[in-house]
């Protein structure tokens, strides 16, 4: 079974802090994705990556960056956290044309 592991289930940070969210998958998937999910807005794609050291902007990349130095790990970085980045963050991975596998999510609160 594919396992996508997000480093934290719950995280509380302060405004202005630099925040790292980590995601690791164990199935050698090329594709990895970061979403945020907010009530009424659904899932919105932040960044995605089709290979190591590659990254593409999604629909809402502002205020975020990503890093993919190894195939199994995709990190989401909030450069200077703000309260409007309080959300549920979901990581996913997949092979091309195959279903995405999701982690359990990180509920991030910015105070």
Partner 1 sequence: KQEVTQIPAALSVPEGENLVLNCSFTDSAIYNLQWFRQDPGKGLTSLLLIQSSQREQTSGRLNASLDKSSGRSTLYIAASQPGDSATYLCAVDSGNTPLVFGKGTRLSVIA
Residues lying near partner 1 in the complex (CB under 8 A) are found at: 4, 33, 40-43, 45, 48, 58, 90, 92, 97-105, 107
Residue 4 Cβ vs partner 1, minimum distance, rounded to whole Å: 8
Task: Return the number of the residue (76 or 92) whose C-beta is nearest partner 1.
Answer: 92
Q: CB under 8 Å to 14, separation ≥6 — which residues? A: 81, 110, 111
Query: Which residues, at least 6 apart from 4, have a Cβ–Cβ distance to it below 8 Å?
Result: 23, 24, 25, 91, 92, 93, 101, 102, 103
Nearer to partner 1, 45 or 77 (CB): 45
Classified as helix, coil or strand, 83 is helix
> Radius of gyration (Cα) for the chain, nearest Å?
13
Nearest Cα neighbor of 76 from 28, 27, 24 is 24
Q: Give 21 or 90: the residue with its C-beta nearer to partner 1.
A: 90
Residue with smaller CB distance to partner 1, 17 or 50: 50
């Amino acid at each position: 079974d594919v396992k996508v592991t997000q480093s934290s289930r719950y995280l509380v940070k302060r405004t202005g802090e630099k925040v790292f969210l980590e995601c690791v998958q164990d199935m050698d998937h090329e594709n990895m994705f970061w979403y945020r999910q907010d009530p009424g807005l659904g899932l919105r794609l932040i960044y995605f990556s089709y290979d190591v050291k590659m990254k593409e902007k999604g629909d809402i990349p502002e205020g975020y960056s990503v890093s993919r130095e190894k195939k199994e790990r995709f990190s989401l970085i909030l450069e200077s956290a703000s309260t409007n980045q309080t959300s549920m963050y979901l990581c996913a991975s997949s092979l091309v044309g195959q279903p995405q596998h999701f982690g359990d999510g990180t509920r991030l609160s910015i105070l």
